[in-house]
Structure 1
């Protein structure tokens, strides 16, 4: 996973990128509200998926689906956290 960003780069790579080429990035100059909305969307989706998993009967679940579910939860949660970090960085710069 790629976590490298040049100093003062406008675009910050998501930690969930799997190659050295940052395909998915966060525009660090995006509006604060837009960053928070995107973070909320991803974290809410992860939370909803976890709630669904909590409510289903695990006797019906297929073991081979677990890695896919964990991967989806990881991507959603990590991307949401990355977006929150950029939003937090914006606040500290403006203070």
Structure 2
């Protein structure tokens, strides 16, 4: 059995409460979302591009040929550790 409680506040207090909640919740949600995304070791091409902050064509031109992938039918997945290792190698040259 659930009950509903209505809290009536003046407009200024209501806005202050909303702002305080946003200030606390938005960064926490963003951090949790980012941590979940970066924790996954294997990603598809779209997610690897997001992970690297590059576009699909840039990935194809500069990265894809240098990192291994596993293909299941039409879907390829990439190991983030292999991508990170390749990017680390590139640091020496640029």
Query: Larger strand proportion, structure 1 or 2?
Result: 2
When normalised by structure 1's length, the TM-score is 0.31
Larger radius of gyration: 2
When normalised by structure 2's length, the TM-score is 0.31
Higher relative contact order (Cα pairs below 8 Å, separated by 6+ residues):
1
Query: Larger helix proportion, structure 1 or 2?
Result: 2
